A = this chain, B = another copy of it.
Amino acid sequence: MIKAKITVTLKKGVLDPQGKAIEGSLSALGFEGVNSVRQGKVFDIELTMDDKATAEKSLTAMCEQLLANTVIEDYRVEIFS
């Protein structure tokens, strides 16, 4: 059993309206000193396989094909145990 975490974030320079909305809300709630907020996605994935190399290859393929829009998003794969 392999546990992995995939983090998908917008590439630098890509506008993040959701992040901007959160910035506005935080400001409206009275939080000061917030310079920028950018929102991303995180996927906690459990795989039944045990080989880390195979798992990493498979997870990268999942990102390329489904989890991330590689035109505007970056992804990072982390594998635990």
Give residues in A with beta carbon < 8 Å to B. Answer: 1, 7, 9, 19, 22, 25-26, 29, 31, 33-49, 58, 61-62, 65-67
Q: Say how far A75's CB is from chain B's closest CB, in angstroms.
A: 12
User: How many copies altogether?
Assistant: 2
Question: Across the interface, do B66 and A22 meet the contact criterion of CB distance under 8 Å?
Answer: yes
Q: Contact at A45–B36, with CB atoms within 8 Å? A: yes
CA distance A43 to B36 in the complex (A): 10
Tell me if A25 and B66 are in contact (CB < 8 A): yes
Chain B residues with Cβ below 8 Å from A29 are 62, 65-66
The answer to whether A33 and B47 have CB atoms under 8 Å apart is yes
* Choice from B9, B33, B45 contacting A42 with Cβ under 8 Å: B9
